[in-house]
Structure 1
Amino acid sequence: MTTSPDSEALDGRTVVLIGGGSGIGLRVAHRVVAAGARVVLGGRSPQRLADAARELGEAVATWRTVDVTDDASLASFFDGIDRVDHLFTSAGTYRVGPLRELSAQDAASPFTSKFWGQYHAVRHAAPKLSSDASVVLMAGAAGARPPGPAPAYAACNAALEGLGRGLAVELAPVRVNVVSPGTIDGNLWAGRPAADREAAFAQYRRDTVLHRLGSEDEVAHAVLFLFTNGYTTGSTLYPDGGYTLR
């Protein structure tokens, strides 16, 4: 029986997934566990994390609460982890909207949660990273093609792509890459008003080359590629259906 490259690269490894209790993070967790890895799930909801760990199998999945906007919380989270072979952070809560409408605090929220949250997660993980570890940052296709009047959100995603390149240089031989999805039909959109969701989905289908939405599992597949391809670093991968090409 032959093993897949993913299984060879991930077997026995420790994968830390902040935001791993739901959505894309949980889909990544399922894939890496299937490939033989152990996962440490992080997030703010103990119930969600406990449910995810049971779903994955408590022999291979542990969890710890963490708030990526709280430096002390991140420090405590990583203090309890001996070794990090792969890190992916998909957690983040923020507001999106036009320059003239958002408060200063709401406009800053993508940077506070998504950009600085990932920056500081990597900073705290750095002493624990193995010599051949990898980090995958989560940005979004909006950084390359703003979807509308949401300049701070677009700028945050573009900044994360730049952060990935900068960290790839500084942390080498640890590899650092970025995944920048388009609109995904999954957990993030499920809690939004139906009318807003359907309008956004219809517009995205019109704007892409493939004329469809992506799935959480398709993004998870891209993350696994970046975890396991040992010659890819400083790159941004767009599982966006061709949105950035139009």
Structure 2
Amino acid sequence: MKDQLVVVIGGTSGIGFEVARRVVERGGQVVLGGRDPERLERAVSTLGAAASGRTVDVTDKSSIAAFFEPLTRLDHLFAPGSSYGRGKLLEISDELAESPFRAKFWGQYYAVKNAAPKIAKTGSIVLMAGAYSVRPPVDGAAYAACNGALESLGRALALELSPVRVNVVSPGMIDSDLWARVPSEVREQNVASFSRDTLVGRPGTVAEAAEAVLYLMTNTYTTGSVLYPDGGFSLR
């Protein structure tokens, strides 16, 4: 990653921040995107001189375009930042049901659209989906469909944008700081449920997910692939 420029939208916390930290640690530079100016400033300050950041709303096409406009070139793009909900078909509101596609699918789609003309031919794009693409929950049909759509998008873009490499990471439950924002009993129930459904008996760590992303960025013979750092969840 030495002297390479990596854009991470959603880089103020969780997997995104850990990817950014590891890029800087390996000699690269990062441009972070996030919705909250204060969290963005803290993340950039923590990463030091090799990092910069700008606010961006992934549900707003014009905001995404404005984020990329000042950049003349970049080497890698990772845009996991999104906020969405899920629920059962007959219970969830239309707005909440559509939220994974608005933020997670279209947010990444338009990030790629704006970044693609500026990505080095030796560079890469890593899309973020999720293991529910192949093992759907009983309360998230639209969310599962969104993850599946992102995996298909990654394969299609690998063909269209070649020689730029495009891959998808589809993790299982990652026990990141995002879970600290939900009630402890909800987190504990999800950890217990996911642990029962995996082969390794636990959720993943942020470090494990970040290393999967870095692999997809740096392995120059990997494109059009979907990687499942999910502890075997998709096999049960």
Q: CA deviation at 1:189?
A: 1.6
**SS of alignment partner, residue 80 of structure 1:** coil
Q: CA deviation at 1:103?
A: 1.0
Please tell me whether residue 105 in structure 1 is matched to residue 95 in structure 2.
yes
Aligned length: 236
**C-alpha distance after superposition, 1:94-126 (max 9, x if no partner):** 111110111111111000000000000000111
Q: Which aligned segments of 4 or more residues in structure 1 are displaced greater than 2 angstroms?
A: none
Q: Structure 2: how far apart are the matches of 1:128 and 1:218?
A: 29
1:26-175 map, 5 Å: 26-57=17-48, 59-175=49-165
In 2, distance between residues paired with 1:21 and 1:202? 27
Cα distance in structure 2, aligned partners of 1:164 and 1:188: 25
Which amino acid counterpart does residue 163 of structure 2 have in structure 1?
A: P
The percent identity for this pair of structures is: 58
Task: Look up the equivalent residue of 1:132 and give its one-letter code.
Answer: T
Encode CA deviations 1:7-44: one digit per residue, 9 max, x unaligned. xxx11000000000111100001111111100000010
Distance 1:236 1:65 in 2: 29
**Cα offset, 1:149, TM superposition:** 1.9
Give the stretch that moved more between structures: 107-116 or 141-150.
141-150
What residue is the counterpart of 1:7 in the other structure?
Answer: none
Q: Deviations over 1:60-112 (max 9, x none)?
A: 00001101111111111001112110000011011111101111111110000
The code of the aligned residue for 2:78 comes to F
CA distance in 1, matches of 2:118, 2:46: 27
Quick one: distance in 2 between partners of 1:14 and 1:161? Answer: 24
Match of 2:181 in 1: 191
Say which SS state the counterpart of residue 42 (structure 1) adopts: strand
**Distance in 2 between the 1:212 and 1:84 partners?**
36
Shift of 1:140: 0.4
Give the distance between the partners of 1:190 and 1:217, measured in 2 at CA.
17
CA distance in 1, matches of 2:38, 2:177: 16
Give the alignment partner of residue 201 of structure 1, picking from 188, 191, 215: 191
**What is the DSSP-based 3-state SS (H/G/I as helix, E as strand, rest coil) of the residue aligned with 2:53?**
strand
| TM-score normalised by length of structure 2 | 0.98
Could you tell me which runs of 5 or more consecutive residues in structure 1 were left unpaired when the two chains were aligned: 1-9
Q: Return the offset for 1:186.
A: 0.8
2:3 corresponds to which residue?
Answer: 12
RMSD, matched Cα: 0.7
Q: CA offsets, 1:189-230, max 9 Å, x none?
A: 221121111111100000000001101111000000000000
Task: Read off the aligned partner of 2:114 and give its amino acid letter.
Answer: H
Match of 1:180 in 2: 170
Aligned to 1:21: 12
Task: Report the CA distance between 1:188 and its aligned residue.
Answer: 2.2
SS in 1 for 2:8: strand
